[in-house]
Amino acid sequence: MLNWIKRRLGNNDLQWEGPVVPEPRVQCPCCDYISLAERGSYQICPVCFWEDDGQDVDELDAPSGPNHGLTLRQGRRNFHDFGAYESDMAKYVLLPEQRSRFRLQERQL
C-alpha cells in the first residue's frame, strides 16, 4: 500500500509529493524477509512475490486465492527451491544478491 505525503509550502499551500514506498516493517509469511509495510493489504512481496492476503504461518495448509490457490506451505517450499513462491514468478523477484536490503528472520516450520 502506498502512502502519499503532503508538504506545506511557504505560502501555506499544500503540495502533494509521492507516492512514497513505506519502509518495510513486517515479515512476509512466505519468505520470512522483513519486506512488507503492513500485513493483510495485498502487498506483493518483492523478495518472493507472495501477495499478502493476511494469511499467516498458523494456516500453512489453507489455499490462498490471490496466490493462485497455493498454500503457504507450498509457497514456502517453492521459495526455498526456486527463489519465488511459484516457479513461474521467479523472473519477477529480486535477485538473491538484491535481497540484502531486507532483513531475514528465518523460521523453521
Contacts with Zn ion: how many residues (CB under 5 A)? 7
Q: Sign of torsion, CA 89 54 24 76?
A: negative
Strands 33-36 and 3-8 come out as unpaired
CB 27 within 8 A of CB 34: yes
Residue closer to Zn ion, measured from CB, 15 or 100? 100
Nearer residue to Zn ion within complex by CB, 6 or 76: 76
Give yes or no for residue 72 binding Zn ion (CB under 5 A).
no
Other CB atoms within 10 A of residue 73 CB: 15
Q: Tell me the C-alpha distance between 100 and 69, whole Å.
A: 29
Which one, 5 or 98, has the nearer CB to Zn ion? 98
Pick one of 44, 48, 70, 84: the residue that binds Zn ion (CB under 5 A): 48
Residue 8's SS3 state is strand
Using CB under 5 A, pick the residue from 24, 43, 44, 45 that binds Zn ion. Answer: 45
Shortest distance (Å) from residue 19 CB to Zn ion: 21
Contact flag: residue 30 with Zn ion (CB under 5 A)? yes
Q: What is the binding site for Zn ion (CB under 5 A)?
A: 28, 30-31, 45, 47-48, 50
